[in-house]
Amino acid sequence: MEHGDDGRSRDDVMDGPALPPDESGRILNPFRKAFAWARVRLNLSGELFGTPQCPVARILAPVLTVLGASILVCDLFESPWREVLAFAALAAALFSVGYRPHPLDALRRPGKPMRWFLCLGCVLVLPVVTFYISALLVSLIPDTSENAGIAATDTFGEYVVMFIQIMGEACLSILLFALLYKALNRAWGRSDPWVRSLVAWLVSAFLFGMLHLPTYRWNFLQCLVIFFSLFLGFAAFVATRSWTILFLSHFLYDLLSRPMVLNACRYAALLWLLVAAACVYWHFGKGSASRPASPPAPPISADCRVDGMPGGGIAGRGIGCVHADRPSLPEGVPAVGPMTGKERG
């Protein structure tokens, strides 16, 4: 290959510059980035439970999980002891699988303001969107059953009991995900980690929804809506890996189901949407507007071809390109080919 030859034929050079990327690729680019981000978050959420356990913890974790779930589903004790005992058993099981919930674990990332925006979105926006989508789906199901516990919540003590119960439910949802991920990790060891996390996410949400069958009088379709709402709500844990963020998101979702809170939110729905739109504009629009604009590219004459070579010449690397804002080469300086020793001297 001669000096200045990039391996392309004369016909390829004469065809002109390469075409810009098509419009469809430009449209799909944000979706590709979102998919790549979701895979990273799924990998990180699975890594929390990828460490091996001691034999005692392997036995203790599923036993405490079944015990805590049974206390929540069955009326074995009177309230509020039922919720307290269930939360204690599920919290102990969560510690036995190797997870240590920290209140501000999702925010301890220096130099990343997006973490704050992500956590606020998971706590404030995600449960509202999930609640209204679930309400729309429930309205399409005939013969739905009402949750008696939700309808009877009207005193401060009952809200405290609900607070403790949701703490236990947040532990239970993470436990189901962790136990399923560990089982899939042993069975599908050669598969991608994000696939195991996604399957564990789907199956754990389905199992959690089926635990509500006695509550809704064995209405399977209504429990499928619970499965869908938990699948969306568990995205708060996948995105932040924080038990606190998942608990707060779940608490707001259940709080919206209470009649007193729901009636107040109906009047504040427009204000809520305006605040959410302002937050999105402040994070994305203000940041992009503050960046300095890149300088325009210098104008190029019509004689310029691929790699800066005029038509009819040999393909080189930027030699002989005539730009409108640059002066021509002085006399005696060759435009094509390497310089000899005499020309350098």
Per-residue pLDDT tens over the stretch 6-28: 454 544 444 444 545 566 667 77
Q: What is the pLDDT of residue 114?
A: 56
Angle between helices 259-267 and 243-256 (to 10 degrees): 90
CA distance 266 to 105: 33
How far is the C-alpha of 321 from the C-alpha of 318, rounded, in Å? 6
- pLDDT of 148 over the 80 cut: no
Query: What whole-number distance in Å separates Cα of residue 245 and Cα of residue 207?
Result: 21
Mean per-residue pLDDT of the chain: 72
**Under a CB-based contact definition with an 8 Å cutoff, are residues 83 and 168 in contact?**
yes
Tell me the H-state helices in the chain.
Answer: 10-14, 23-47, 55-73, 81-96, 114-120, 126-139, 148-151, 156-187, 193-210, 220-233, 235-240, 243-256, 259-267, 269-280, 286-290, 341-344
Task: Report the C-alpha gap between 34 and 29 in whole angstroms.
Answer: 9
pLDDT digit string (tens) for 255-272? 887 665 555 555 555 565
Q: With contact defined as beta carbons under 8 Å apart, do 177 and 204 qualify?
A: yes
**Domain boundaries along the sequence of the chain:** 1-17+305-339, 37-290
Residue 41: C-alpha distances to residues 33, 35, 82, 222, 319 (Å): 12, 10, 34, 29, 47
Label residue 328 by pLDDT band (50, 70, 90).
low
194 close to 217: Cβ distance less than 8 angstroms: no
Claim: this prediction has a pTM higher than 0.85: no
| Tokens (6 digits) for 225 | 């809506």
Query: Each residue of 115-136: pLDDT tens digit?
Result: 677 778 888 888 888 888 888 8
Q: Around Cβ 188, how many Cβ atoms within 10 Å?
A: 13
Residue 329's contacts (CB-CB under 8 Å, 6 or more residues apart) are 335
What pLDDT is recorded for position 53?
74
If DSSP codes are grouped into helix, strand and coil, which group holds residue 323? strand
Residue 211 structure tokens: 């635990």
Q: What is the pLDDT of residue 313?
A: 43
| Assigned token pair, 322 | 């005539």
pLDDT in tens, 206-226: 999 888 888 788 888 888 888
Q: Which of 177, 234, 235, 215 is nearest to 47 (CA)?
A: 177
Burial of 236 (0-12, 13-18, 19+ CB in 10 A): buried
Distance CA 304, CA 322 (A): 6
Q: Which residues pair with 323 in a beta bridge?
A: 300
Dihedral over alpha carbons 309, 313, 317, 318 (to 10 degrees): -30
Nearest-angstrom CA–CA distance, 189 and 174: 21
